[in-house]
Amino acid sequence: MQRPALVNIRGDSKSIAIEDAPIPCVKFLRPARHADERGELGEVFRADLMRECGVEFEPVQENHLLTSRVGTVRGLHFQIPPYAQSKLVRVVVGAIFDVAVDLRRGSPTYGQHVAALLSAKEWNQVFVPAGFAHGFCTLQPNTEVAYKVDGYRSAESERGLLWSDPVLDIRWPVDVASITASERDFRQPCLRELPQYFEYP
């Protein structure tokens, strides 16, 4: 995957680098890491730096997922308006292949996706705005993922997109025939079957 251009580094030695993804409203984040004899410290969220990059993100809930098996896909998930959510995703233990798919009708990148490797070792994160389906595949056993959202969970508003839809051309880094997923995620609709949930811009 092509490395994005660096668009913002602010603050002191504990600040966060924020980069545009190939779809620019998706952001890659990497905290500066301050080390001493005790270990390391890094700021994993700064609302002021997000605003400098044009992103208003006010999280109201944080979720934590533990996935035991390598090659497990969770997604592709989203909530529809008026309960649509933006997400800030990071890995606490292990590693994932993370994917965000543009569902905004009229967008020049509609149906396209951004993919990134996130790991506890790298401390890197992805910001996924509302209007995108999100999911990931685990690359290590007992992987733990934490993500902040700017809207509360609404079971009635939860929707999904089929992770294996060939139109999406997502190149999952594991054998697709051996992927583990929930029964629900194996039955999600393809892109062409989705109603028009999100407008662009």
Q: Does any domain span residue 140? A: yes
Number of domains composing the chain: 1
pTM, rounded to two decimals: 0.90
Q: Is residue 50 part of a domain?
A: no
Residue type, 10: R
118 or 12: which leads in pLDDT: 118
Residue 83 lies inside a defined structural domain of this protein: yes
Is residue 20 in some structural domain? no
CA distance 126 to 97: 11
Q: Is residue 9 part of a domain?
A: no
> Would residue 94 count as lying in a domain?
yes
pLDDT tens readout for residues 119-145:
999 999 999 999 999 999 999 999 999
H-state helical runs in the chain: 47-52, 183-186
**Residue 87 maps to which CATH number?**
2.60.120.10
Residue span of the structural domain in which 128 resides: 58-199
Q: Is 75 among the domain residues?
A: yes
Residue 3 domain-assigned?
Answer: no
Distances (CA, A) of 81 to 55, 103, 123: 19, 12, 31
Q: Which residues are catalytic?
A: 77, 147
- 89 Cβ neighbours under 8 A, 6+ residues apart: 98, 118, 125, 126, 127, 128, 134, 136, 145, 146, 147
pLDDT band with cut points at 50, 70 and 90 for residue 42: confident
- pLDDT tens for residues 72-90? 999 999 999 999 999 999 9
Q: C-alpha distances in angstroms, 108 versus 28, 56, 175? A: 20, 22, 30
